[in-house]
Each structure stands twice: as structure tokens, then as C-alpha cells.
Amino acid sequence: MAIDFPGMSPAPAAGNRGKVSEQQTPGNAQTPGSANMQTSKPDISDTVRISDTAQALQRSVGKQDSSADVDTDRVAQIKAAIDSGSYKIDNERVAERMLQFDKLLG
């Protein structure tokens, strides 16, 4: 499977592929007797810039992982109440909170 990258020379045909050390590219073409010669690298450097939005997102993920938003004591109390059968659901409170949430979205 070949992948074409804009602005780059096309990859060699499938039948011409070989080991990386055996491939001939314009920058590393070898002549007889020059197998050990090093070619100089171009003075081009690549840079990567992460957008401000991506940086803020990364910081928020790190903060979220470090802070505990769960009250483990309260969770344990509710689990114990459910197991014992003493946990009661307040239907009116649930309905009221659902309506409040719907108003936030609407």
C-alpha cells in the first residue's frame, strides 16, 4: 500500500523495494567505492507548534486527573444503604433536578 504525501517524491515501485540500506534516493546515491561515505544533512529543521487550545485542553486533563471529584465516603454510605435496603429515592427531587437540567440545555 503506497501513501502519497504532497510535495514529496513518489515512493519506489513495489518491485524495486529493498532494505533501507540498499535503497537509492537522490540524497544518498552511492557510486562504486563510496559505500562508507556520509552525506551531509540539509540545514532544514522541522518545528511543531501545539495550538493554545490544545495546550489548555492538556492542562485541564492533567488537573482533572489530580483532583478527586468523588466523595468516596458518601459513595460508601449510599452503597451500604442500598445493600441494607434503607436507601430511599425522592422522586420529586429527581424530577425537579431533571427539569433544572432541561432548562440549562434549552
Q: What is the mean pLDDT of residues 1-7?
A: 65
Half-sphere exposure of 104 (CA within 13 A, CB side): 6
Mean pLDDT of 66-70: 66
Q: Is the CA virtual torsion 9, 12, 18, 23 positive or negative?
A: negative
State what percent of residues in the chain have pLDDT above 90.
33
Q: What digits encode the pLDDT tens for the residues 36-61?
A: 556 666 678 888 888 999 998 888 87
C-alpha distance from residue 82 to each of 42, 61, 68, 77, 85 (Å): 69, 33, 23, 9, 5
From 23-37, 54-68, 71-85, 88-102, the region with the lowest mean pLDDT: 23-37
Q: How far is CA 6 from CA 9, 14, 54, in A?
A: 8, 19, 25
